[in-house]
């Protein structure tokens, strides 16, 4: 049995992981520590909040004393660190918060883990610090480059990717220098339920429903490898259970798409959804699909993201060979399920794009938090 501290567990992937873990390991204790920034949302945890074996703590991973207290109070033996500023565009307009949370925050967690697990009497021998990292630390690939393995050089492009790379190096240093038992996973672009509608897929879904332009950066030819979030959670589970301390593991989706093709696919799926459900027309009358048009008419090419990485692709053969990991979800089915989740959970995303909420977020976190679609 494990007692887990899941940092950033009210965000997109963190909350999916909490649901996954509660379903597959119901006897474990799960403590979520989350600052509830604009991206953190207690609604994501509504179905588990209040259950026995689950605790939510509102706080900052940079607060080392708070983390020390939680590790001791809940006899935590596993930390899974999802907490981060995660949006590349925001890191370009305001990098400070990324360095603070992603670098200083990860270091605060490492210091607390070292104090409680290695320096207490007796030490906690069976422990694990798992860092959630990203394929972005490897930098941009060309069209014909092979997918990158765990041994590839870190070459981050954006302030976001650089802050994640710095955090990974700290985790690795705590393993080598102090003997902290660590693992790091680098994964590709996730999608699925609870995805904040500033990121490409949920932004496209919400914009198509409102008849708003779908902004494609540059020529739309950039390539991302898409991974359904449940596959990612299963990969993390395998690493926590069977991964070797001190190791890095790539978790890829084997699903490379240009942004343009992905958006066209979403448009097609949305047209199909309207054709199959007459109730969608009165609910979303501004969508072109409601008037018999095609959602693809909303695609519009806009100024490129500065430093925009052309392509990411991960070689995850190590994870496959050592941990028997492979993604299970087919992209078509997973995208349809994701669209359906957004159709079924309008209240969830409606609040996030609401003008009052946006004004509150902007006041708390600054103008860089404005949703790109507005």
Residues with catalytic function: 135-136, 160
> Minimum distance from CB of 266 to ligand DAU (Å)?
12
Angle at 146 between CA 195 and CA 326, to 5 degrees: 50
- Residue from 180, 86, 171 nearest 134 by CA: 86
Applying CB under 6 A, among 175, 199, 234, 311 the residue interacting with ligand DAU is 199
Please tell me whether the peptide bond between 122 and the residue prior to it is cis, using omega within 30 degrees of 0.
Answer: yes
Q: Which among ligand NAD, ligand DAU, none contacts residue 62 (Cβ within 5 to 8 A by kind)?
A: ligand NAD
Q: Restricting to residues 206-225, which ones interact with ligand DAU according to CB under 6 A?
A: 215-217, 222, 224
Number of residues that bind ligand NAD (CB under 6 A): 30
Q: Which among ligand NAD, ligand DAU, none contacts residue 248 (Cβ within 5 to 8 A by kind)?
A: none
Q: Which among ligand NAD, ligand DAU, none contacts residue 148 (Cβ within 5 to 8 A by kind)?
A: none
Binding mask 133-152 for ligand DAU (x = CB under 6 A): -xxx----------------
Instruction: Tell me: does residue 170 bind ligand NAD (CB under 6 A).
Output: no
Instruction: Tell me: does residue 209 bind ligand NAD (CB under 6 A).
Output: no
> Minimum distance from CB of 329 to ligand DAU (Å)?
17
Helices of type H across 27-158: 64-73, 88-93, 96-98, 106-113
CA atoms of 229 and 236, how far apart (whole Å) = 11
> Minimum distance from CB of 171 to ligand DAU (Å)?
16
Q: Which residue is nearest to ligand DAU (CB)?
A: 134
Instruction: Tell me: does residue 312 bind ligand DAU (CB under 6 A).
Output: yes
CA atoms of 66 and 75, how far apart (whole Å) = 14
Instruction: Tell me: does residue 2 bind ligand NAD (CB under 6 A).
Output: no
Question: Do 322 and 242 touch, CB atoms closer than 8 A?
Answer: yes
CA atoms of 82 and 75, how far apart (whole Å) = 20
Instruction: Tell me whether residue 69 is exposed, middle or buried, using C-beta atoms within 10 angstroms of its C-beta: 0 to 12, 13 to 18, 19 or more.
Output: middle
CA atoms of 267 and 326, how far apart (whole Å) = 28
Number of alpha carbons in the 13 Å side-chain half-sphere of residue 132: 26
- Residue from 15, 185, 179, 36 nearest 113 by CA: 179
> Minimum distance from CB of 37 to ligand NAD (Å)?
4
Q: What are the residues facing 20 on neighbouring strands?
A: none
Instruction: Tell me: does residue 86 bind ligand NAD (CB under 6 A).
Output: yes
Number of residues that bind ligand DAU (CB under 6 A): 20
Applying CB under 6 A, among 18, 30, 39, 48 the residue interacting with ligand NAD is 39
Instruction: Tell me: does residue 203 bind ligand DAU (CB under 6 A).
Output: yes
Strands of the sheet with 247-251, listed across from one edge: 54-58, 29-34, 3-7, 78-81, 128-134, 182-187, 247-251
Instruction: Tell me: does residue 86 bind ligand DAU (CB under 6 A).
Output: yes
Instruction: Tell me: does residue 87 bind ligand DAU (CB under 6 A).
Output: yes
> Minimum distance from CB of 58 to ligand NAD (Å)?
9
Report DSSP state, residue 55. Answer: E
Binding site for ligand NAD (CB under 6 A): 7-8, 10-14, 33-37, 39-40, 60-62, 82-84, 86, 101, 105, 132, 134, 164, 187, 189-190, 196
Binding site for ligand DAU (CB under 6 A): 86-88, 134-136, 188-189, 199-200, 203, 215-217, 222, 224, 259, 305, 312, 372
């Amino acid at each position: 049995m494990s007692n887990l501290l899941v940092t950033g567990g009210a965000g997109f992937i963190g909350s999916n992981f909490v649901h996954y873990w509660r379903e597959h390991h119901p006897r474990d204790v799960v403590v979520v520590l989350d600052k509830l920034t604009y991206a953190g949302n207690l609604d994501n945890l509504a179905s588990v909040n209040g259950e026995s074996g689950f605790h939510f703590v509102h706080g900052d991973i940079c607060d080392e004393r708070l983390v020390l207290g939680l590790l001791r109070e809940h006899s935590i033996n596993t930390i899974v660190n999802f907490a981060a500023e995660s949006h590349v565009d925001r890191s370009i307009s305001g990098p400070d918060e990324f360095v603070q949370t992603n670098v200083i925050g990860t270091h605060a967690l490492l210091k607390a883990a070292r104090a409680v697990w290695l320096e207490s009497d007796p030490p906690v021998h069976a422990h694990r610090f798992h860092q959630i990292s990203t394929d972005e630390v490897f930098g941009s690939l060309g069209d014909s480059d092979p997918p990158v393995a765990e041994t590839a050089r870190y070459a981050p492009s954006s302030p976001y990717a650089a802050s994640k790379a710095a955090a990974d190096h700290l985790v690795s240093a705590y393993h080598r220098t102090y003997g902290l038992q660590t693992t790091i996973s680098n994964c590709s672009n996730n999608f699925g339920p609870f995805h904040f509608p500033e990121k490409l897929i949920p932004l496209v879904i919400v914009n198509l429903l409102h008849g708003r332009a779908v902004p494609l950066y540059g020529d739309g030819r950039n390539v991302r490898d898409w991974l359904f979030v449940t596959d990612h959670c299963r990969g993390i589970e395998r690493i926590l259970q069977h991964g070797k301390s001190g190791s890095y593991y790539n978790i890829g989706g084997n699903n490379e798409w240009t942004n343009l093709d992905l958006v066209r696919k979403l448009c097609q799926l949305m047209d199909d959804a309207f054709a199959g459900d007459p109730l969608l027309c009165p609910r979303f009358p501004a969508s072109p699909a409601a008037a018999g048009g095609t959602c693809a008419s909303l695609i519009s090419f806009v100024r490129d993201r500065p430093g925009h990485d052309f392509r990411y692709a991960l070689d995850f053969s190590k994870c496959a060979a050592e941990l028997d990991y492979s993604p299970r979800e087919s992209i078509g089915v997973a995208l349809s399920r994701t669209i359906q989740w957004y159709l079924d959970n309008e209240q969830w995303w409606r609040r996030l794009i609401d003008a009052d909420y946006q004004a509150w977020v902007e006041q708390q976190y600054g103008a860089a938090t404005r949703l790109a679609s507005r």
